[in-house]
Amino acid sequence: MWMYVDGKWVKDDQPVVFAQSKGVQYGLGIFEGIRAYWLEDREQLSIFRLEDHITRWVEGAKILNMEFRESMDELVSIIQELLWKNNVRQNIYIRPVALKSVQTIRPLISEVGQQIIIYLTDPVYTIKEGLDVQISTWTRPSPQSFPLHIKLTSHYLTLGLAATEAVQNGYDDALLLNDQGMISEGSGANVFFVKGNELYTPPISDGILAGITRATVMDLALARGLIVKEKSVPRSYVYQFDEAFYTGTAIEIKPIFSIDQRKLGTGHIGPVTKLLKEDYLRLVYRK
């Protein structure tokens, strides 16, 4: 496939990243995850909330002292051209990445210089209908020590450790606590809990990603007359909920069947999760 690298179109089997860059050495980078859906009946692609994703990426990059040469409109056009150039006629995952390209030794972010890469990959996160998760022994860092509301590459070390621990223990994924002992999110997704007609999800201030799919699901829930509460969730409360599910661009809406081997509800997808998943798929497929 073709990918975009600093103003050029490059085949994805070509090396493009320098090992000496701070993006590689110190994990000084930021990325996004965007999903395009193939609408079979219209024979066209629909990119879900593209402008929102690009805005989060560009604004978040300012934390790393990055200023993109490309404007917002140009980035949107580049992604559209990338899909056209690769003749995409299926669901696809779009991954824009910005890496600090400066090659000096100190991990300063004040030095100007970045590399922009945008590529395509398979959108399949997991083929399982629902997940069995554990509460991890790894915790998310404090928002006072790490910007957690955006997709910084270095943060995914903690998430990778938690996910690996869970899989090695026989689970599908891990739920992480924050530095205050409250539920934060999964290894790559926001989390919701359901009790009756009420949805609970941790607030951004609890050190979670400001998820675009999360915001979409909250809107869908409100449109259905459900009550949505952004509220801290203690660990001991999770076993008392009727349902739970993940949200994310890659994972979409994925039910959680059990936590720490304790079944939630019937141990299958619950009615609220099912309803919201159906609403979400209708939205992204524009039905």
Question: How far apart are alpha carbons 27 and 146 in whole angstroms?
Answer: 13
- Dihedral of alpha carbons 8, 13, 14, 17, sign: positive
Q: Among all chains, which residue has been given the structure tokens 């409109």?
A: 73
Domain parsing of the chain, residue ranges: 2-121, 131-284
Place of tokens 């805005």: 55
pLDDT 10s digits, 70-128 = 999 999 999 999 999 999 999 999 999 999 988 888 888 888 889 999 999 998 877 88
Between helices 50-61 and 212-223, what is the axis angle to 10°? 140
Per-residue pLDDT of the chain (287 residues; tens, 9 = 90+): 999 999 999 999 998 998 888 888 888 999 999 999 999 999 999 999 999 999 999 999 999 999 899 999 999 999 999 999 999 999 999 999 999 988 888 888 888 889 999 999 998 877 889 999 999 999 999 888 888 899 999 889 999 999 999 999 999 999 999 999 999 999 999 999 999 999 999 999 999 999 999 999 999 999 999 999 999 999 999 999 999 999 999 999 999 999 999 999 999 999 999 999 999 999 999 98
Q: Are strands 8-11 and 34-39 parallel, antiparallel or unpaired?
A: unpaired
Identity (one letter) of the amino acid at 118? I
* Domain topology for 131-284: D-amino Acid Aminotransferase; Chain A, domain 2 (3.20.10)
Any idea which architecture 2-121 has in CATH?
A: 2-Layer Sandwich (3.30)
Judge if 2-121 and 131-284 fold alike in CATH terms. no
